[in-house]
Structure 1
Amino acid sequence: MPFSAPRHRRASLLSTEIVNRSRVLDTLVNNLEGMAYRCLNDAHWTMVFVSQGCADLTGYAPAQLLGGTGVSWEYITHPDDRLRVREVIQSAVASGQRFAVQYRITTLSGQTRHVAERGVAVCDEQDVLVLEGFVEDITQRQATLEALEHAELRYRHIFEHASEGIFQTSRDGHYLAANPALARIYGYDTPAALMADLSDIDRRLYVKAGRREVFHRLMKAQGQVLNFESEVHRRDGTCIWISENAHVVRGPQGEFLCYEGTVQDISERRHYQEQLERQANHDLLTGLPNRVLLNDRIAQGIARATRMGYYLALVFIDLDNFKFINDSLGHAAGDELLKEVAARLTGCLRSGDTVARLGGDEFVLVINDHYRTSSVISLLERMLQDIGRPIVLNGREFQVGASLGVAMFPSDGDDAQQLLKHADVAMYAAKDRGRNNFQFFTRELNRQADERLHLEAAMRSALDHGGFDVHYQPKVDHRRRIVGVEALARWFHPELGAVGPDRFIPIAEETGLILPLTTAIVRRALAAARRWNHARAVPLRLALNLSPQLFLSHDIVAHIAGLLREAEMPSSQVELEITESVFLGDSERAVAILSDFKALGVGLAMDDFGTGYSSLSYLRRFPLDTIKLDRSLVTGLEHEEEVAMIARAAISLGKSLRKTVVAEGVETQAQFDFLRYQGCDEFQGYLLSRPVPEAQITQLLEAGGVIAPAPLPLL
């Protein structure tokens, strides 16, 4: 018969195996991170068994949780969660299902922990319904979930309430997500309306065709776009500027999912930038291109002319007598005049040409695509006619002329600087030829311009180093007694030699040097006159010449008054000579300035009387003390009856109006005798004395102050 173990041995082996299995089971249960349990389904969840994990989970030892005398699980369960936990478990028990519930417990140390419990209702060995299950600590997991939920809530809040538009789009141009801000930017009521309507971003959104393709290329090359600025359509058809920042979103395997990014409405910033660019490149008053943009237009014109074989004409324009209108009528009227002239110039040209304003009353034209000079001439003739049309300023009608200088590319220069310089030179030639005309550049003009620039630089140096002298031409009465002197600027340059006033005075007026030049001359003349008059019973009158430009400046009276105070010179010993040209405009302003000078106490003389057009009315209206007959009324009067008649009438008129009459340019004794006989008060000219230095005037005064006739030549 087969061998078989004794029965008592088999029982022993079975018992050992059961014990071993129990030990393994206990080891597994007690080493789980969490608590395995069996409890009664009573009001206290009385624990019948708990694993060793209860200590780490709750802080209580197993013995403290078991039986009716221990700490009940109901007590450990957070008070706010007890009812909910019981309802979940009892519902599962009633339906015979497993249960799972999350809640909070309070540990022995008072700490609150989140736990997850899973279990089932079973009958024990005595057929009593008990609960068996497992409770684990999910505090960390719960904290992570709550953080994720909070982050998602924050993201959702940002997404919904951001001021920037946020989007997700497909590669083919459909919106997958959009926030309310993006809907508002594009003019939609809701994101849903935006996504439903704007189904083709490339064609329906961007104003400039192909913009989406540029977006794709940047994404492909860089994986993102930054500050991608585009003009886009809104729902109502208006256009705005946006800036996009976007990137590619990819899946776990690197596959393309969508484009994601933000949108800002930068219309206001773009408009501000355009304003800044316009201000940087355009004249604020007229809206015309300024010097910066002009250089670019000239460069473009030169390139086009080179390519096409046409001429490029550069025209420098300076308005005639603008300063007089601006000073007499005020800057507001001057601005209106400039704007009107700008409009007229623009109206004369084609859209491809340019009118620019350099400043003041200076304009430049860039005229393209002319293949013969005659067509440029025709255009300029029409332009002069248009500029010369009457314009109403402050209720009065004026006519304004212009002097135009023309330089042609390529004959007169091959860059903007040369062409502008040569056009400017030609413009001054137009002024010298009577104004209100145009002149083309020539090499001779360039030579004269270079000489003028050299002269200007030399003048500035002379003013800085006291290089100007003062000579004095005596004025005598009918007995040849010196009663006054006229101060005249003189300049001798070491290289240039003697430079006449007819050369340097116009340059001083054009360059703004007339004020420092006049100031230097007046200071020296006042000092000399003060020395001469120190002990004289009847002081000499010092005549000072005022440039028309200075006379019309707003502070000339105060400036002269300051120089008189500085020199401690009585104003009654000074006479200002003003040329008739200053009265050819706003007589009210001239009257006001003359009245201020009269209040200062200085004498006033009209120089060059007889060369203007309205001298008679001026003598009546203006507070003048003296008139100086121009040399054209003196020269030849001893030979030409008509000249003598005019001189006689001028002297008679002056005397009738109780003015002191001075004849200048007296060069012969016959002229002196005629003028004296007609009642002329004072005389000045080469017959009596040329302008001489201060020392010679001093010698004449010390010798008695009478200029004797020149000795007759020996026969």
Structure 2
Amino acid sequence: MTERSERNRTASGGLGLAGACAETFELVPLPAAPALLSTADGIVVRATEQAATLAGETGPDALIGCRLAELVSRDGAVSMLRTRTGRIPVRPLSWPHADDEQLRVTVLTDVSDLTEAAPAAADAAHSNERRWLIEAQRIAKVGSWVFYPETGELYRSPVLAEFLGGSGAENATDAGSMIAASHPEDEARAAQFYADVLSAPEGELLEVELRDLPGKRIYLCTGRAEYNRSGRVERVQGTVQDVTEHRALERQLRDERRKLQDAQRIARLGTWEWDPRSDAIRLSRMLHEIIGKPTTAHLTFDTYLERVHPDDADWVRQAWEPLIDRHEPIEVEHRYVRLDGTMRILRLHGTAIKDADGEVVMVGTVQDVTEQRAVVTRMERSSQRFSDLVNITPVGIGLFDRAERLVDANDALCDLLGYRLEQLRGMTVPQITHPDERQTGLPTPRERPGLRRRVPQRVLVRSDGEPVYCELHTSSSVQDDGTQFWLVVFQDITERRRAAEALRYQATHDDLTGLPNRAAVKDLLLGLLGRADSHRVAVLFCDIDNFKRVNDSLGHDAGDELLVALARRLEGGLPDGCTAARLSGDEFVIICQDIEAVGGVDSLATRVSGLLRTAVPVHGQLIRVSSSIGAAVPNGSGAGGEDLLRFADAAMFEAKRRGTGKVSLASPALMASADRQLQLEGQLREALNNDGLVLHYQPVVNSDGVVVTAEALVRWPHPDRGMLAPDAFLPVAEQGDLLRELDRWVLRTALREAATWPARNGRPVGVAVNLAGLVPGGPEFVDGVADIVADTGIAWNRVILELVETALVDLPSRTRHEMGELVARGVRFAVDDFGTGYSSLARLKDLPAQIIKVDRRFVAGVGGDASDFAVARAVVDMARAMGRQCVAEGVETATQFHVLCGVGVDAYQGWLFSKALPAREFRDLLDRGPMPIPGA
């Protein structure tokens, strides 16, 4: 007998009941597990070998006579079994014996791997095994748990406790706490999972995915119930695995697969793989759809060739030979006849790769390009109609069938009549004619096709019911299928009738939006600042963000439409006492009479910013805009209305520098900076008045090196800052509204100096001036240019006026008329930086200019970039076909010169020949005669 059993015998006063009934207790069956049989007062009367081993004893007798409460005691939330070497955590499960309720069976389960604390004196090997198990769980991101339904107790491994860290359930001892550790949206599923495990058949493994409390991690939870001999659930055990990364990867893979499938479907592109050894071809689902074969169909190379169009079969077979014989990539486009008899045009790419076994297989793509080829065909067929259209005055153009129904129209006609193209199609001539107009039919006699006629005036009606007066030009033409149709050009002459009224209205209002203009703003501020409560006045200066992009991409009509929409929002959304005005371009000004009455500057600025931050439908597109806003209030220094506008303008630029949609209040420092800007503006104004600027001239030469023209470039020899290039003071001129005055000075000076240049072989040199403020359509444009030409005495045909491309598109009729007057006298107009805007063939033909200057960005790459070369050649060809002269800007290398010379460029400008020279040096250059040709 062991020392322990001797001690237990003494403590219990001998074996007592145990000794008397030892033989009886030996017959009581116990589970094949660490089990103890005890009496009602807790004395152990029988033990299994497994229990003795768990307790570290040599045999079961060592445990007989011990008190169960001394062997197994609670340590906080954990039951501990006392052993020879210390204590180990166990889970005791007790129940009355089936044959004798005075006896209890207790089964001990070692839960060392589910607790964080191992017995202090545990066996080293056991401790190592447990540590390795925990480390393996950490590596696999798997925690384990055991739940005892009878007591509601829950044991979890250290890894599971780490999973629960921060959720408040890391010390959970019951299932309810574990459920509460789930995401609130997953609690019901967690509870159902535990309920299902408790009711599931023995051995059935259940699983569920749950998120943690913050919702950042995803865990795969499994559980399985174990039943005792009486059919009750003895315990439930399971695992919790962190599958967050797995699920994220699965989602990524699904998204990538979906994107690939969507891309293939959009592009009508499928993939294929062919194993020459088995002659089996595997197709993607999209490719099955393209060729019209079911996904279950077996496809070989020969069956593929059977569906190739008979006329293409032979050369398609030959086209495959490089891939089959030499494993060279191929590209084949051919016709394919589907099983339903329809024909598709397929573009096939193929190449050879090695599979995982090192064997060569063929892979590639097939794209259905039937629609693309159809579009190309239709475009080719419509080219003749397009040519016919551009031969007529490119204003509003309509295409009518023999029944006088409108079949097609250009944007100008849609804008003229106020309809979308879809609305116009199908309308008859009487439907677009004003009710008061007596003539409603087309003015082309049917008995004489091809006859062109002109109708001086016809009154049409817009979609809003307003009359529009047009001059009509008609011509008949024939489509490819022989159908006759009428081409009608509509020239809007309504402006002539409204000119007088518009001039009167323009005195105080903006032509486009109807809002007060700059003159009205000055008058309003003058009156407000003269009042006693002038300190309550506030000025908000608003500039639409990225407005130029709308103009360049959608055209000036779209930009104007956007400005009108924004003006209406300001009119309807401003509080009482506030007036909206438009100064110029995309600049709006808000004048507030009493800023305190509207809640202060910040409140008003926020409200205005909200009105200008909106989405506006323009030309069928939804344009999202915002505004940079600068605000200024009187600072007590006696600032006038112009000063408030200037300070608010400076604050707006400060807001724009911070990003789109920002608001800035004019601070004292900003006002001081604006004053310095005003000082520089004053110096520039003084320089203009006192001829304080100078001009440099860059020659433009022909292919023989003869200077044919020169471009005048302005410079400012500032007394303090030295020689300033235009980019240093043009923004000052623009902000100070000096661009028009600067243009007049440059034009006058350039023409005066050019009038004295010597002529070579009787050929005078022309002079080109780039205009930014003095532009067609502006006030006194024609008279201003004519006066300067007359004063300088230069010949009209030596004057070239350069305008940027975007200033020459969508020109109103009055502007075209003004340009036409100057052209009739001999002035030539040049399109500067052509190709940087949004031009088309129609617009190029429509530009009222005689010279096209190819932008330097295309010239730079003509020697090595095929795209730049193609653009340059296309511009030259189009210019030549339309009777324009073509000039290349930025020619800097001999290669560029010779390439451009080869495509037919008429003249060249760039550092290869000369930089911009002061007037005296340029005159000396003219005296030296033709310039040397590089490489000649």
Place the TM-score, normalised by the shorter chain, in its bin. 0.3 to 0.5
User: Which structure shows the higher helix fraction?
Assistant: 1
> Normalising to structure 1: TM-score of the pair?
0.48
| Relative contact order higher in (CA < 8 Å, ≥ 6 apart) | 1
Compare CA radii of gyration and give the structure with the larger one: 1
> Normalising to structure 2: TM-score of the pair?
0.37
